[in-house]
Amino acid sequence: MTTLSVDRASRWFGNVVAVNDVTMTIGPGVTGLLGPNGAGKSTLINMMGGFLAPSTGAVTLDGEPVWQNEGVYRHIGVVPEREAMYDFLTGGEFVLANAELHGLPDPGAAAARALATVEMEYAQDRRISTYSKGMRQRVKMASALVHDPSVLLLDEPFNGMDPRQRLQLMEMLRRMGEDGRTVLFSSHILEEVEQLAHHIEVVVAGRHAASGDFRKIRRMMTDRPHHYLVRSSDDRRLASALIADGSTAGVELDPAERALRVRAVDFARFTELLPRVAKENGIRLLTVSPSDESLESVFSYLVSA
Ligand SMILES: Nc1ncnc2c1ncn2[C@@H]1O[C@H](COP(=O)(O)OP(=O)(O)OP(=O)(O)O)[C@@H](O)[C@H]1O
């Protein structure tokens, strides 16, 4: 079982709408679930993993509802974001406990295999309280893998990892995707997703904003209108020279900032235009800074596109 479908699913908590009418299909391979903080990624993952029921709509695995469906749970492994582990257990005991909870025929062998997959055999007899963040993450991963699920859902798995641990985990997830498993991981960091997933799903403020090839979506992000704050030796003259060119969509004098707010439609052309116009008019550029580079503004653009 490998294809997860979210069909017009919403989930609200009181009057907070965490996930709003989302439809997406996640198949084998690695998919990145990208969105800013509070976008609804964890809620989506919890619905896909069977921890939460959708308020409306459906979440299914190969057509079977996930919620309260034991048969389906056997195919899904979840690595949650929160650190809810029994620190007094050793890593080996923790993974074994999960193998037993799944009612596996040979829990010991399953736990050993899962610990080997994440290369944690060497520390399996140490208490979890002595583990680093990366080691904890790997043990969580081993317990999610103990029943050999075909679907692996990971909520912000790279949070708090150092670069080496991050690379190791990426390599592991890549391998699982190549083996034909459905691997979905959430992140709010564009670069992280870029390194691991070609296919991404973007959620913003509970809504599904974009879906598809990472490069295509990245291009949409780069091609969006860019806003700059520009200070120069002659803002008025610079403003009139810039507005004469088609790559500038708007220029505004901001008296409080003593600067120009420039909206450029064609990113590449504008970065060539600005220094040229300044030079031709004998104007010195003092500051040029993007004013809308936050991930939130990039995402908002995608939603409105
Ligand atoms: N159990 C809950 N009770 C009330 N509100 C909740 C609950 N779970 C999530 N929310 C709200 O739903 C929205 C989406 O939260 P969610 O955790 O799914 O987002 P996220 O994209 O995973 O964010 P983050 O990256 O910060 O974890 C937020 O406004 C959050 O406050």
Instruction: Kindly indicate the confidence band of residue 293, based on its pLDDT and cuts at 50, 70 and 90.
Output: low
Structure tokens at 286: 């003092």
Rounded CA Rg of the chain: 24
Ligand 1, atom 31, residue with closest C-alpha:
38
Residue 240 confidence (pLDDT): 92
CA dist., res. 37 & res. 82, Å (int): 15
CA dist., res. 58 & res. 291, Å (int): 40
Q: Is residue 233 domain-shared with residue 168, that is, in the same domain?
A: no
CA dist., res. 244 & res. 32, Å (int): 41
Q: Is residue 94 domain-shared with residue 198, that is, in the same domain?
A: yes
Residue 175 confidence (pLDDT): 92
Tell me the mean pLDDT in the region 206-222.
79
Q: Which of 12, 34, 37, 43 to mutate to test the pocket of ligand 1 (most atoms within 8 A of CB)?
A: 43
Grouping H, G, I as helix, E, B as strand and the rest as coil, residue 87 is coil
Ligand 1, atom 25, residue with closest C-alpha:
37
Write out pLDDT tens, residues 137-196. Answer: 889 999 999 999 999 999 999 887 788 888 888 998 999 999 999 999 999 887 788 888
Instruction: Kindly indicate the confidence band of residue 134, based on its pLDDT and cuts at 50, 70 and 90.
Output: confident
Domain that holds residue 284: 223-304
Of 142 and 83, the one with more pLDDT: 142
**Res 223 pLDDT > 80:** no
Cα maximum dimension of the chain: 80
Q: Which of 10, 17, 42 to mutate to test the pocket of ligand 1 (most atoms within 8 A of CB)?
A: 42
Domain count of the fold of the chain: 2
Grouping H, G, I as helix, E, B as strand and the rest as coil, residue 219 is helix
Structure tokens at 136: 């904890």
Q: Which of 10, 12, 15, 16 to mutate to test the pocket of ligand 1 (most atoms within 8 A of CB)?
A: 16
- Tell me the pTM: 0.78
Q: Is residue 262 domain-shared with residue 198, that is, in the same domain?
A: no
Q: Is residue 9 domain-shared with residue 141, that is, in the same domain?
A: yes
Domain boundary among 201, 221, 241: 221
Structure tokens at 254: 């901001």
Q: Which amino acid is at 117?
A: T
| Nearest to 285, CA basis, from 249, 247, 259, 254 | 259
Residue 2 confidence (pLDDT): 86
**Res 303 pLDDT > 60:** no
The phi, psi pair for 221, rounded to 5°, reads -70, -40
Write out pLDDT tens, residues 22-64. Answer: 999 999 999 999 988 888 999 999 999 999 999 999 999 999 9
Domain boundary among 221, 237, 270: 221
Size of the chain in residues: 305
Structure tokens at 161: 């990892």
CATH number for position 284: 3.30.70.100
**Res 295 pLDDT > 60:** no
CA dist., res. 196 & res. 175, Å (int): 11
CA dist., res. 24 & res. 182, Å (int): 14
State in Å: Cα 59 to ligand 1 middle.
18
Per-chain mean pLDDT for the chain: 88
| Ligand 1 pocket, Cβ-based, cut-off 6 angstroms | 13, 16, 18, 35, 37-43, 188
Ligand 1, atom 5, residue with closest C-alpha:
13
Residue 190 confidence (pLDDT): 76
